A and B are shown apart, each in its own frame.
Chain A
Amino acid sequence: MRIINIKPDRSAHLLLAALPFVLVALTYVIASALRLSENPADKLLPAFSTMIDSIRHMAFEEDTRTGSYLLWSDTFASASRLFWALCISTSVALIVGVLMGLLPLMGAFVGPFIAVASMVPPLALLPILFIVMGLGEASKIALIVIGTLPFLIRDLALRVAELPREQLIKAQTLGASTWQITLRIVVPQMLPRLIDGVRFSLGPAWLFLIAAEAIASDSGLGYRIFLMRRYLAMDVIIPYVAWITLLAYFSDTLLVWIQKRAFPWFSDARAT
């Protein structure tokens, strides 16, 4: 039988999916045990038990200096930056993207500008943002917005342009005005596609968030990781990285779930 025709059944599927995770964990445990047996004070690959201790300390014990629970306050700081930044990106992208894709006049007006502006490396703008907006929340949120917005706009404008011409003609023959077409035909069909765009933007958004927090901040997951680097505290850094990964994965799953629930027509319509 050709290998392209061999499909895993349910249990094989689960097994295959779990295997890479198990392999990575196992490799780590073995390597860590080997290093620790040579030098019990080794900091590079701490044992799982050490990491669990550190996390317990970070998550459930009050920090003596600030009086807060560091893991949670860091998570809250990072998550709210990310949340507000993505809210701004998404709403601006919806408006500009739909206008650009639907109105040839707007496409001609802002299209080339956005094509050029999207080539500016956002991190190169970070110093400017710090100078102009200060070191507070605004500059960090601005960096994430600048980093994600051009892609979201261009992606959405393309999706609007991809709508079959027939739909727009048909709407006009039902007497729809441009406003009504936007409101009843285009925007409702763009919302689930915008969710797809946001999913692809989550990675870059985290990248810019951590970069901004690493350079100038006093809270946040990225700040903590870079702070701990000075003490070679791998027992905190590794769990923090895992936690960030988990958060990112969870937000992606949440977006998929929202997309399925709120737009039940979308998966079928996309298939045809």
Chain B
Amino acid sequence: MSVISFSHVWKEYGDQIVLEDISLDIEDRAFVALVGPSGCGKTTFLRMLLGQDVATRGAILLDGLPLHGEPDADRGVVFQRYSVFPHLTVLGNVMLARELELSPFLGRLMGAAKKDAEADSLKLLDAVGLSGAQALYPASLSGGMQQRLALAQAIMRKPKVLLLDEPFGALDPGIKADIHTLMRKLWHESNLTVVMVTHDLSEAFRLATRVVALERRRDRPEERERYGATIAKDIQIWPRRIAGTPQPRSSSRDDLAKSGAIPGRPGLAMSEQIT
């Protein structure tokens, strides 16, 4: 179970009110897309959920309990950049989650435990379409491959909640479509509640079960400081998407859109080859 609930949450930086009286309940295994104009506080919202920042007023509960004041293994995250560790290989990046979990002093596994972690990591790398790349360092991966790796790394620790801040914002449309397919698959197959910030409305509507739009109701320059953003729209996607029950219909619609968008581009995960 991972139910998130915001009740009357305010966030202020000094005199500036960024978020104003946000109340929102996110049900278990939802996929919430958070949209809104630049600077309206989407990242701030996510940072509070992550424990990187605290609400000025109000409470945020995870499964009925107040959030920890610092990031922890309950909440995985993928940023737009810098989500993977440059000094570890692809395999090392994924294995890290297991090593940190099982080896508090050395942060490294040996023998059978290491073999196990390696096998599991390779399986996960295969699932995200990175098989064959396990010995490479992140700097030699394309942007799309790095984000796949970041997803695999986050999933490996089995978080209750996965937080994504414009994770695919820097990717070109074809690669984005491939990674959407992966994202949907991960959401269906792992026990995850997802909150994703995005600038891309079509991405939001394609992936999410629910689209939440933040907006400042008053945005004249002289009002800016005193009024924060609130939830302007809260849309349930219809027909409902239910975690664990992939719908062939919606994915075929995506395939159509994709092949139309980039003619001649060969389809799914394999289109990102290692060069």
* Residues in A lying within 8 Å of B, measured CB to CB: 164, 166-167, 169-177, 179-180, 183-185, 188-189, 263-266, 268-269, 271-272
Contacts and interface: CB of A to CB of B under 8 A. Distances in A.
A174 B97 contact: yes
Given A167-B85, A183-B106, A264-B137, A173 B79 contact: no
B232 interface: no
Contact of B71 (A164, A172, A185): A172
Contacts, number: 91
Given A172-B72, A173-B159, A183 B86 contact: no
Given A169-B50, A183-B106, A183-B107, A265 B73 contact: no
Contacts of A266: 87
A238 B83 CA distance: 54
Contact of B75 (A167, A173, A176, A179): A173
Looking at chain A's contact residues, the main secondary structure is helix
Nearest to B163: A173
B86 A269 contact: yes
B191 interface: no
Contacts of A176: 100, 107
Contact of A272 (B76, B105, B139): B139
17 contacts: A164-B82, A169-B77, A170-B82, A171-B100, A172-B72, A173-B50, A173-B73, A174-B73, A174-B100, A174-B153, A179-B104, A185-B85, A265-B86, A265-B138, A265-B139, A268-B137, A272-B86
Chain B interface SS verdict (over half): loop
A172 B79 CA distance: 14
B52 interface: yes
A173 B77 contact: yes
Given A166-B81, A180-B104, A180-B107, A173 B139 contact: no
A122 B139 CA distance: 41
Task: List the 9 closest pairs (A to B, CB-CB), nearest first.
Answer: A268-B139, A175-B73, A269-B86, A172-B71, A166-B82, A164-B82, A265-B137, A184-B107, A180-B107
A52 to B, nearest CB: 48
B259 interface: no
A173 B106 contact: no
Interface residues of B, number: 36
Contacts of A265: 86-87, 137-139
A271 B139 contact: yes
A170 B100 CA distance: 12
B157 interface: yes
**Listed residue (B72, B75, B85) with the most chain A CB atoms within 10 angstroms of its CB:** B85
Interface string B62-81: 00000000111101110101
B140 interface: yes
B124 to A, nearest CB: 14
Nearest to B161: A173
Nearest to A265: B137
B229 interface: no
Contacts of B105: 179
Given A180-B104, A184-B107, A268-B140, A170 B87 contact: no
B19 interface: no
Contacts of A269: 86-87, 137-139
